[in-house]
Amino acid sequence: MKSLTFKYPLLMIAHSTFQEARHSRVLHLASFFAVLLILFSLFMGEVSLYQNEKVVKDIGLFSISFLGVFVAIFLGVNSLYKELEQRTIYSIMAKPITRSEILLGKYLGMASVLFSVVLSMTGVLYLVTGFLESRIDLDLMPAIGLIYAELLIVAAIAIFFSSFSSPFLSAFFSSGVFLVGRISRELADFGERSKNEIFKFFATGVQKVFDLEAFNLRTAVVHKFPVYVEDFWWPLLYAGLIVSLLLLVSQFVFIRRDFK
């Protein structure tokens, strides 16, 4: 692994980002709260009427999504900023590496961290549900896969804002964009009832272009509703397109940024 990272600067940056994030207290704290929420769902399931397994799965998937978004934004807005604040960006750029490789390496490192976070929380969820049902419910996997895809979008949004802004503003804008994406369908419905044509155009346009609710299969998999192929693959392709566009724009901005 070390020989590969030295041979390919992009992998070197990704490996360094992963190692740095892995020791972050915030990451450990978020994982701890995720485990607590999943375990707390056991209690909530006990007080519900014959809905124990469903409650545990619903709260478990929510925990993976919610805390995953928190980690994605935290890593995205701080990763580049730390290099600038500690002036380590100059030592990195002294090596034969481009700014595009730095940014893409940071993103790949964050994607690896998010994968490990989702994997660990999924493991805890399956331990709990396996204890309750004495089986592994593979029907949850499409929902978990789309949660990870959504987190990749959130991380790309965060790194885009951090390529030209401060951590506080980047976190604020990233959270706002994420919330708009999550409520885009409600926003579109509200826009359809609005008499303001400008707002109607904006609201329906947002829903068509940036609909993060498409990544939410939690209700479907928990209540055993049918999940069709297009329900999984279309959001996955959409995520690839959005992430690619965001990273391209981020590179364009980061390359032209003055570090002085």
Per-residue pLDDT of the chain (260 residues; tens, 9 = 90+): 444 444 567 788 888 888 887 777 777 777 777 777 777 766 665 555 556 778 888 888 998 999 899 999 998 888 877 777 766 666 776 677 788 888 899 999 999 999 998 998 898 888 888 877 778 888 899 999 999 999 999 999 999 999 888 889 999 999 999 999 998 888 878 777 777 777 777 777 777 888 898 999 998 998 888 888 999 999 999 999 999 999 999 999 888 877 66
208 exposure class (CB count in 10 Å sphere: 0-12, 13-18, 19+): exposed
- Are 152 and 111 a contacting pair, CB within 8 Å? yes
Q: Please give the single-letter amino acid code of residue 202.
A: F
- Measured from the Cβ of residue 80, the count of other Cβ atoms closer than 10 Å reads 25
pLDDT at 142: 94
Query: Do 202 and 119 meet the contact criterion of CB atoms below 8 Å apart?
Result: no
pTM above 0.95, yes or no: no
Task: DSSP for 41-70, please give it.
Answer: HHHHHHTSSS-HHHHHHHHHHHHHHHHHHH
Residue-level pLDDT at 108: 93
pLDDT at 1: 46
Q: Would the CA dihedral through 127, 131, 132, 133 be positive or negative?
A: positive
d(CA 186, CA 196): 16
Q: How far apart are the first and last CA of the chain?
A: 34
- Which burial class, exposed, middle or buried, applies to 1 when counting CB atoms under 10 A from its CB (0-12, 13-18, 19+)? exposed
Question: Do the Cβ atoms of 131 and 222 come closer than 8 Å?
Answer: no
Residue 38, amino acid: I
Whether 180 contacts 71, CB under 8 Å? no
